[in-house]
Amino acid sequence: MASSDATVQVSSQAMRYALSVFEGIRLYRQHETTEVRPFLLDAHLRRLRDSLVLMRIPDPGVATLTDLVGELVTRNRITDDAYVRIAVSAGNPGLIGTDVEPLVTVSAVPMARKRWLAQGAGMRLQVSGWQRGGEESFPSAAKNISGYAGPRLALLAARDVGYDGCVLTNRAGRLCEAPTAALFLVRDGVLVTPSLTEGVLPSITRRWVLGTAPALGVRAEERPVSRSEAYLADEAFLCGTGIEFAPVQSFDGHVCRAWPEPGVLQGLVKRYFEDVRGAADGHDREGVT
């Protein structure tokens, strides 16, 4: 079915109360072939299960989604990089306390590199006055569409005053994450990212970075991160499934000290594309310069 033919009831709980959890998964063309494979699909499906539990949406059959993604690739003859979106939504009408009848959608669109990675362009970020809600108001581990409404406003406000994007803070005023990506800083060769207890979505790419950095000889830490640390960072970047990686040039006009020299990010990007392409010999590399 074409996406333009799909419909959702206007009275559905997904439309009325934003009850819809989702995952975005990258499909990558394999080295010197036209075969594509999903990257870290099991990790994405595990997070989807967690989101369903936290949002009290019944499991519609997550165990079948691996086969559905494969069928999507085959039927649509996908032979190059693409982005798959899996959503489980409350498709039935009802009031706010009505039991949910889950509706599953799986779709794909072509997706290559974003300009930040393709061109090595650095993002100019604002530390936003908008805050990520605390666990007392909404579970940060749930990847539900309602969680993006506030960050969207923060992004638009940053763009209104000339920034490329923003980083949200939490209720304690510490750095949290970008609207759709995790944040990493580098200072004196140490890689730092806000810990999950700071109101951060448990990003799949973030976890890959933390697991890969030690193999590249880079120490990685998860801990609270202040605004002043961003101002004093040697290097910084955002990462996530959609954006992959984006080098950061500055925070609130404070330019990262090593910019524009490639550093820790260059090694991570090189290893990332070796992993996703199945090119352990180092061919087919893509990354910042």
Helix (H, G, I), strand (E, B) or coil at 29: strand
Tens of pLDDT, residue by residue over 81-106, are 999 999 999 999 999 999 999 999 99
Span 221-230, average pLDDT = 98
d(CA 36, CA 80): 6
The topology under which CATH files domain 3-112 is: D-amino Acid Aminotransferase; Chain A, domain 1 (3.30.470)
193-220: per-residue pLDDT in tens?
999 999 999 999 999 999 999 999 999 9
155-199 tens-digit pLDDT: 999 999 999 999 999 999 999 999 999 999 999 999 999 999 999
pTM above the 0.75 mark?
yes
How many other C-beta atoms are found inside a 10 Å radius of the C-beta of residue 133? 15
Strands 123-131 and 190-193: unpaired
> Domain residues of the chain, as ranges?
3-112, 117-277
The structure tokens listed for 119 are 């061109």
CATH topology of domain 117-277: D-amino Acid Aminotransferase; Chain A, domain 2 (3.20.10)
Strands 244-251 and 123-131: parallel
